[in-house]
Every structure is written in structure tokens, then in C-alpha cells.
Structure 1
Amino acid sequence: MSYEMIALTMFASLMVMLLTGQRVFGAIGFVAVVASLLLWGDGGSELAFSAAMKLMKWYPLLTLPLFIFMGYMLSESGIASDLYRAFHVWFGGLRGGLAIGTIGLMVVVSAMNGLSVAGMAIGATIALPELLRRGYDKVMVTGVVQAGSSLGILVPPSVVLVLYGMIARQPVGQLWLAGAVPGLLMAGLFVAYIAVRCWLQPSLGPVLPAAERRMPLSEKLGLLRAGILPLAIFFLMTGLFLMGVTSLVESSAVGALSATGAALIRGRLTRKVMEDTLRQTLGISCMFMWIILAALCFGQVFDGVGAVRSIETLFVDEWGLSPWEVLILMQVTYIIMGTFLDDTAMLVIVAPLFIPLVGALGFDLVWYGVLYTITCQIAYMTPPFGYNLFLMRAMAPPEISLGDIYRSILPFALIMLLALALVMLFPQIALWLPQHVQTRG
């Protein structure tokens, strides 16, 4: 059997395993270990061990539990709820104002956490029940929560961009800066869509009653103080890192410590909050570690059979594709894979195959990191098996069906495709900020 056929068989076996409903890390690890034993005999049994040792020595991976802890601490301590109340009051007088405020909440939560899971949890438990109680269309607001939560893997401090930087050997600070403007652009497009849709169909997002909006200006301004702590934490954490005062790991530790201090200042650092935060941090961190471990095994087998060179030969030499055609094909591949895998698994499995090819084709790897992340956002919500779809189904109230969830995401997925096309056509959308900061430095 040729190496190309071996790689194809492995990938097909992985897809079949995932369709059976197996856990992602179990499917990836099983295919990797079986393939290594069949290819190299007893020597292949060391594959998992060597991958585990590589993972344990991956020092920047310490950022994962710290960033996750920071986000859950801010969520569990009620700081995110206070922030949503401020958006509630300030935007309630607009058609669709609470949905617009939800997008604002998601942007701030993304800047506090770097993961879509925490954004989804906050949106589904805090914003969604309130939106439904206020008579908002259930299909539209379900899409709002899913789309807004996806910003967590693009807006700094994105954990996905941290992992991409490790694999692509690109500076994380540059990647964070590159993701900032596209993330805000996408959030702006979401807001514009909600505003136009609710203006055309007022019943989708009714204005809050005047009695609820009647509040002295001083009290309204006081509500804005809810945003001071999370924004201060964000600027303290990322500012120190971008100025070179702290390393990436030290920056994540600053964020985790600041979030704990914020909860303490607000008088909400209870035993229950700490236990819930640690439990959720441990669960998400272990999920990431298992997926990365399994994906490292899978990637080593792929690399061992020469899959990287085979892909380059197939795309460029045999098919005669242009660099842009290869790039578009890669993005389509990510979207298809995203219906089965989460972003971490896709990154660790496929990025080592595609990133060298992207560099060889002459594209900027920082810019490509943003393209990859936006594509992950789209893949996360692509029916029938998008990761966020089932996460929302688990968290949504009973009156929201899986059909509602599928229908809710289509307009937002199209907006994300528009954002992806804009960043591809105009790379400076992503590259202007990092180049500007680098020039000033």
C-alpha cells in the first residue's frame, strides 16, 4: 500500500470512528495507535509515550488552565451578570437592543476568556432566558448566542491562536493583535444584521417598556462600572504581555490572579464559587490535554508516512492548483472537518500538514492563523454536526428544538463567510495592527 493510501485510510477511519459517537480523543488516539502498530510493529507502541512526554514538556501549555480559570472565575462570581445588566439598560430602548447588548457582552467575555465554551455557557444561562422572557424571536436569539460565543477563539487572548502560534512558530502577541480587528469587524457585522433585521421585523426584537428604561442618568452611568473590572483585567493581562513585561505564561497567571482578586473585591469569592470554578477548569483543561495528546500521536504517524510532502505534490504538481486555489481548498477542508472535530483537534492534526505548505506558497503565517480561526468559527456552527450546535442543544431551554438551532445559525454563518472573504481579499484587515505596533516598537 502506498503512503498516500495509508494516509487516506487513516483519515477515513477517523471519520468513521467519529460517526459512531466515540469521544474525539478516543477516536483519534485509537486510529493513531493501531496505524503505528501495523506500520512499525512493536516500535509503534512507544508513539503514545513519546507524544505524552512532548506534551508534558510543552511549557506554554500552562496558559490553558490559567486562561480557562480566569474566564470561569469572572463568570461564576457574577461579574458577567452585572455587565449584562448594564447592556440591558443602555441598549433596551432600541429594536433588538438586548440582542445587540448580548453581542457586546460576548465581545467582553471573549476578551476575558479566550474560549467559545465559556462564552456559550454565559450566553445560554444569562442572556438567552432574558431574551426569551422579553419576547424576542427564539430562532434569532439562539443564533445570536452561538455566533457571539464563537468570537472567543478570535478576539485576544484567544487560546486557539496560542496553540496555533506554538505549532506555526509564530509570535503569539502578533497573532492576538491580528485577530483583534477581524474579531471586532465580525462583531460589528453581527450587530448590523440584528439592527437591520429588527428594524424590518420589529416583532423579532421588541423595545423594552418605557417604565423599565426610566432611570436617572447617574444610575445608568453607575451601571457602567460593571465593565471596569473585566476591562481592567484584560488590559493588565494583554498590555503587560504586549509590552514585553511578562511572558505568555506569566500573562495568563496575571489574568487568573486578577480575576480572583476582582471576585474578592466584589465580595463574591465564596467556597462554592471557587469549587465550581476549579471543577470546570479541570474538566475543560483535561479535555484539551487528552485531545492534544491523541492528536500529537495521529500527527506523528501522518508525518512518518510522508503525508505533508504527499499533499504538496498532489495539490501543486499533480492537480496544478494555484496558491489561492490551494488556500481555498484548505479552508473548505477545515469547514468539513469542523462538522466532526473541535478546533483543537483540527489544529493539532491538520495544521502541521498545511502550515508548511502555506509558507511554501508564500502566504503570511500570521494572516493565515486568522483565516484558520475564522474558518473554525464557521465549522463550529455548520450543520449537521457542528460542535457548537450540540453544545447549545445541551444548554438551551426545552422550548428551543434542534431544528430551531440549525435554522438560527444560517444567517450568522453567511456573515462569517463574508468576514472570511474580506480578510482573504484585504489581508491588511488582520495585518495592519500587528505591523503598526511592531513599527512603533
Structure 2
Amino acid sequence: MSAELIILFMFSSMLLSMLTGQRVFAVIGFVGVVAAAILWGNGGFELGFSAAMKLMKWYPLLTLPMFIFMGYLLSESGIAEDLYKAFHVWMGGLRGGLAVGTIGLMVIISAMNGLSVAGMAIGATIALPELLKRGYDKTMVTGVIQAGSSLGILVPPSVVLVLYGMIARQPVGQLWLAGAFPGLLLAALFIIYIVIRCRLNPALGPVLPKEERDIPLSEKLKLLRAGILPFLIFFLMMGLFLMGYTSLVESSAVGALSALVVAAVKGRLGNGVLTRTIEQTLGITCMFMWIILAALCFGAVFDGLGAVRAIEGLLVNDWGLSPWTILILMQLSFILMGMFLDDTAMLVIVAPLYIPLVGKLGFDLIWYGVLYTITCQISYMTPPFGYNLFLMRAMAPPEVSLGDIYRSVWPFVIIMMIGLAIIMAFPQIALWLPEHVNVRG
């Protein structure tokens, strides 16, 4: 069987198998091993074992359970609720101030989590009821929470960037640094949109009643103490990492231990919090490990087939497309796939083709990792099967309908596309920090 037919077999059988409802990693890993057997005979069955050994030797993988544990523990222990009280008082006098405060809360949670699901859970259970009670427009605020929670996969320590780093063979520390400024840029664009829209239509985000805002300065300053512990955790985790005192894995261990100590000091480890956190950490970590393993199997077959060279020849030589045109088409394909697949499935399916091709076209793979992650954020919120859409539907109160949720995301999807275009046009937004800060792997 020719290499071209094997490539066609792999993609068609993979897509058909996904229609059966099987898990993504099982489908992709199975197709990869079978294709290897067709290509190389009995020796191809060793591909899965080889990929597993490669995975077990990848030291930065230890960061996954550490950061996931830290994020879930902070979510379960109620630290986020204390933070939101501070935002409530300090931002309540601004039109749309509580929505702006929600974005601020999401940025902080993202910097201590690495996943969007924890931010979504916190926003839907803590911020959303408060915003609705204060008369905020339900369509706008559900969009605010979905957009804000999506920052969790871009702002360091992003678990999605860890996955990308493993598949693209890029240093995770550099990827995290690259995601910092783009994440803050998107958060700033969200805030600008909220402020302008609420200024044009004050009914969307009314200010808090004067009696609630009329709090002595001393009380307001006391509320700011809620941010001290999260800032301390972030400094111990990322500050020591950026200053070169800890490696990537050591930094994750420091963050997990700090979150555990803070939860214990605040007396928030009771009622099965630690047990639930460990169970959630184990489930998410195992899922990511299986996905990486499947991706390594699938990618090894493509390397052996020379598929990247064939695709490059087709697009550049035969069709005459420019590198930028190819890059834009890649991003559009990610957005289309994101309407039906989650971020990890998208990465595993197309990474063997896209990532090597991006390198051959002369683009920086660190920068492309940021573009991929922002595209994932967009796909999280695009109907019909956006990940955040269903999370919000599961967590939102009854008065928020699925129609409200679908309508709420479009302004933020447009803002994210604008942010994506800005970072594509000005790569240094993502690359300046990795170029000027040396970190230990």
C-alpha cells in the first residue's frame, strides 16, 4: 500500500471511528498503531510501546498533576469567593464594574490554575448569581464568564500549552512566557468592551447602590487582604521560576504545596475537599497522558511517511500559496473543527501535519503555540458544540436559557479574533518575554 493511501486510510478511519462515540485518544492511538503495522509489518506494533516510553521519560509532564491539583484545591477551598468580595466592593461604583471585576477574578484564577473548567465553575457559581441579582443583563454576563474562563488555557501555567509543548517538542517554560502578554491583552480587550458597552447602555451593568458602596476605606483595605494569599502563591510559583531559582517541575511542586498550606491555614480542607481534589486531579491528568500517548503514536507514522513534505509540496509548489495564506487557512480550519471537537482532539488530529509544516514555512513554533491556544479559546465558545457553552448550560440558573448562552458569546468571539489578528501581525507581543527571560526547563 502506498504512503498516500495509508494517509487517506488513517484520516478516514479516524473520522469514522469518532462517529461511534469512542474516546478521542482511543481512536487516534488505535488508528496510529494499525497504520504502523500496515506500513512496517509486525514491528509497527511496537510503536505504542515506544511512545509510552518516550512519554514516561518526559520530565516536564510532572507539572500536569501539580498544577491541576493546585487549581482544583483553590476552587474547592473557597479562596476565589473571598477574592470576588474584594472586587465587588472596589469595582461596584463603575458601570459594568462587577463584570470588569469578574474578568479580573478570572485572570487571577487562570494564573493559579491552567484550565478553563475551574474558572467556569467559579464564575458560574460565585459571580453569575451575584451579577444577576444586581440587575446585570443575563446575556452579557454569561458571555463575560465564558470569555474570562477561557483565559485559563492561555495565561501561565496553561495545561494546554504543556500538551502543545510535548507534541511540538518545544520548551514549556518559553511557551508559558509567550502566553502571558497575549492573555493580558485579551483580558484588556474584554474590559474595554464591557466598559464601553455599559457606558452606552447603563441598564446592562448598573452601579451598586450607594449604601453598598459607602464603606469606610479601612474596611475596603481589609477586603484587599483576600488577594494576599493568591498573590503569594503566584509569586512563590511563577516568581521563583522567572528569577531562575526553581525549574519548571520544582515550580509546579511549590505551587501545589503552597495551595495546600493556604487551604489548611484557612481551615478549608474539611468536608472531603482534599479527596475531591485528588480524584479530579487524577481524572484530568490521566486523560491528558492518554491523549499525549495517542498523539505520539499518530505523529510517528506521519514522520515515517514523509507526509509533511508531501503537504508542503502540494500547498507551496503545486498550489503556489504563500506561507501567511497557509497559516491563516490553518487557523480557520482550527475554528471550524472547534465547532465539533475539543481543543485536545483538534491538536492531536492535525498536530502531525500542522506543527512541522509551520516550522518548515519559517514561523516560530513558540509563537504558533500561542496562536493555536487563542484559536482553542475561540472554539470553546463557538456553537454548536463549544465546550464552554455546555459547561455554562450545566451550571447556569434556570432563568438563563441555552439561547441566551449562544447569543452571549458572539461579541467575545469577535474580540478574540481581533486579538488573534493583532498577535499574528505583531509576533513580539508573544515572543518578547521568552526572548528576554531565561528560565530553567
* TM-score w.r.t. length of structure 2: 0.93
In the TM superposition, what is the alpha-carbon distance from 1:76 to its structure 2 partner? 0.9
User: Residue in 1 aligned with 2:164?
Assistant: 164
Q: Distance in 2 between matches of 1:72 and 1:244?
A: 26
In the TM superposition, what is the alpha-carbon distance from 1:29 to its structure 2 partner? 3.2
In the TM superposition, what is the alpha-carbon distance from 1:297 to its structure 2 partner? 2.5
Structure 2: tracts of 5 or more residues without a match: none
Give CA deviations for 1:260-305 in whole Å, capped at 9, x if unaligned: 1111222222251111211111121122122222332322333333
Q: Distance in 1 between matches of 2:38 and 2:271?
A: 51
Q: Is the contact between residue 167 and residue 296 of structure 2 (CA under 8 Å) also seen in structure 1?
A: no
> Larger deviation: 115-124 or 51-60?
51-60
Distance 1:340 1:43, change over 3 A: farther
Q: Is the contact between residue 335 and residue 375 of structure 2 (CA under 8 Å) also seen in structure 1?
A: yes
User: Residue in 2 aligned with 1:129?
Assistant: 129
- Give the residue type in structure 2 aligned to 1:129: P
> Larger deviation: 74-83 or 270-279?
270-279
> Larger deviation: 303-312 or 368-377?
303-312
Q: Distance in 2 between matches of 1:13 and 1:204?
A: 49
In the TM superposition, what is the alpha-carbon distance from 1:123 to its structure 2 partner? 1.3
Give CA deviations for 1:38-71 in whole Å, capped at 9, x if unaligned: 5455444333333333322222111101000011
User: Residue in 2 aligned with 1:84?
Assistant: 84
In the TM superposition, what is the alpha-carbon distance from 1:212 to its structure 2 partner? 1.9
Give CA deviations for 1:131-165 in whole Å, capped at 9, x if unaligned: 22222222211111111011111111112222333
User: Residue in 2 aligned with 1:416?
Assistant: 416
Q: Is the contact between residue 295 and residue 345 of structure 1 (CA under 8 Å) also seen in structure 2?
A: no
Q: Map 1:8-87 onto structure 2 (within 5 A).
A: 8-40=8-40, 42-87=42-87
Distance 1:13 1:205, change over 3 A: farther
Q: Distance in 1 between matches of 2:2 and 2:139?
A: 49
- Give the residue type in structure 2 aligned to 1:106: M
User: Residue in 1 aligned with 2:406?
Assistant: 406
Q: Is the contact between residue 135 and residue 206 of structure 1 (CA under 8 Å) also seen in structure 2?
A: yes
Q: Map 1:191-230 onto structure 2 (within 5 A).
A: 191-230=191-230
Q: What SS is found at the alignment partner of 1:113?
A: coil
Distance 1:403 1:35, change over 3 A: farther
2:185 corresponds to 1:185 = yes
Q: Distance in 1 between matches of 2:225 and 2:87?
A: 12
Distance 1:47 1:20, change over 3 A: same
Q: Distance in 2 between matches of 1:140 and 1:111?
A: 24
> Larger deviation: 166-175 or 218-227?
166-175
User: Residue in 2 aligned with 1:139?
Assistant: 139
Q: Distance in 1 between matches of 2:22 and 2:102?
A: 34
Q: Map 1:335-354 onto structure 2 (within 5 A).
A: 335-354=335-354
Q: Is the contact between residue 96 and residue 194 of structure 1 (CA under 8 Å) also seen in structure 2?
A: yes
Q: Is the contact between residue 338 and residue 380 of structure 2 (CA under 8 Å) also seen in structure 1?
A: yes
Q: Map 1:40-439 onto structure 2 (within 5 A).
A: 40=40, 42-270=42-270, 272-437=272-437
- Give the residue type in structure 2 aligned to 1:436: H
> Larger deviation: 304-313 or 418-427?
304-313
Q: Is the contact between residue 340 and residue 387 of structure 1 (CA under 8 Å) also seen in structure 2?
A: no
Q: Is the contact between residue 298 and residue 352 of structure 2 (CA under 8 Å) also seen in structure 1?
A: no
Give CA deviations for 1:78-132 in whole Å, capped at 9, x if unaligned: 1111001111111112221111111000000000011112111211221122222
In the TM superposition, what is the alpha-carbon distance from 1:199 to its structure 2 partner? 1.6
Q: Distance in 2 between matches of 1:388 and 1:4?
A: 37
Q: Distance in 1 between matches of 2:235 and 2:335?
A: 33
- Give the residue type in structure 2 aligned to 1:413: V
Give CA deviations for 1:162-216 in whole Å, capped at 9, x if unaligned: 2333333333332222211111110010011111112222222222222222211
Q: Distance in 1 between matches of 2:230 and 2:109?
A: 8
> Larger deviation: 171-180 or 272-281?
171-180
Q: Is the contact between residue 163 and residue 292 of structure 2 (CA under 8 Å) also seen in structure 1?
A: no
- Give the residue type in structure 2 aligned to 1:415: I
Distance 1:384 1:14, change over 3 A: farther
Q: Distance in 1 between matches of 2:113 and 2:119?
A: 8
- Give the residue type in structure 1 aligned to 2:221: L
Give CA deviations for 1:317-336 in whole Å, capped at 9, x if unaligned: 21111111111112112222
Q: Is the contact between residue 97 and residue 205 of structure 1 (CA under 8 Å) also seen in structure 2?
A: yes
Q: Distance in 1 between matches of 2:57 and 2:423?
A: 35
Q: Distance in 2 between matches of 1:153 and 1:104?
A: 16
Distance 1:198 1:226, change over 3 A: same
In the TM superposition, what is the alpha-carbon distance from 1:438 to its structure 2 partner? 5.2
Q: Is the contact between residue 339 and residue 379 of structure 2 (CA under 8 Å) also seen in structure 1?
A: yes
Give CA deviations for 1:205-236 in whole Å, capped at 9, x if unaligned: 22222222221111111111111111111121
Distance 1:382 1:20, change over 3 A: farther
Q: Distance in 2 between matches of 1:381 and 1:404?
A: 13
Structure 1: tracts of 5 or more residues without a match: none
Give CA deviations for 1:391-440 in whole Å, capped at 9, x if unaligned: 2222222333332222111110110000010011111211223333359x
